[in-house]
Amino acid sequence: MEMKDILKKLSALHGKADAAPWFVVTTDDSRYMGATYIGTSNRGPGHDSERGLDGSREQEIIALTYHQSGPAVQPDEPDRAHANSDLIATLRNELPNLLDHIERLESANRALRHEQQRLRRAPEKDWHEMSQAMSPLFAKLVELGYQDLARAGISALDQGHTYVNRLLNEKSTKDAS
């Protein structure tokens, strides 16, 4: 699946899912068997011992991620279930930020590609102007934490400038002879 399809799918799921924030809740059922669920109410850290699966929380439970079902429970099951629940809730809560960040990066990428195309068609006299125009884009990349990408862009701009100068020098040499 291509990245654009993944992002489209995530955006659609984000729009259909229960609103964030989601929380991890550890409780019991009516027989005091341990359970972990993802819900819409923050019931605080730790096990609440309130028999939360007795039906009174039906509207707030999004997904049951662990339910102790007998005496033969593996010792790491509750820890693994809690880690899985943390992952699911954190991803749901941070999904809007991730999608926004990806959109900002894609927007910066589009702007850089546009400038790249413009630079490829530019005469020598416009190089200084275009270098100045690119500076805010490189600064934005640094601000977003992409220093290496900004350095690569500056390096490519310098190489392009050198290449255009060489072509112009070759042209002037041919014209002079």
pLDDT digits (tens, 9 = 90+) for 1-51: 788 899 999 999 999 999 899 999 988 887 778 888 999 999 877 778 787
Lowest mean pLDDT among 110-114, 149-153, 168-172: 168-172
pLDDT at 90: 92
pTM: 0.61
The alpha carbon of 151 is separated from its chain's Cα centroid by a whole number of angstroms, namely 22
pLDDT at 159: 72
pLDDT > 90? residue 174: no
Q: What is the pLDDT of residues 89-124, one digit of tens each?
A: 999 999 999 999 998 888 888 888 887 777 666 665
Q: Residue 119: name the closest of 64, 90, 80, 160 by CA.
A: 160
Q: Is the distance from CB of 62 to CB of 85 less than 8 angstroms?
A: no
Q: What is the per-residue pLDDT for 168?
A: 64
d(CA 24, CA 44) in angstroms, rounded, equals 9
Which positions ≥6 away from 124 have C-beta within 8 Å?
A: 164, 165, 168
Q: CB–CB of 118/130 below 8 Å? A: yes
**Averaged pLDDT score across all residues of the chain:** 80
Residue 123 pLDDT: 62
Of all residues in the chain, the percent with pLDDT exceeding 90 is: 21
Q: Where are the alpha helices (DSSP H) in 17-146?
A: 77-120, 127-143
Q: Taken in order 90, 94, 95, 96, is the CA torsion positive or negative?
A: positive
Task: Identify the residue with better confidence: 88 or 134.
Answer: 88
Rounded Cα distance, 24 and 89, in Å: 7
Residue 125 has pLDDT above 60, yes or no: no
pLDDT of res. 119: 67
Structure confidence at residue 153 (pLDDT): 76
**Strand ranges across the sheet with 23-28:** 23-28, 34-39, 61-67
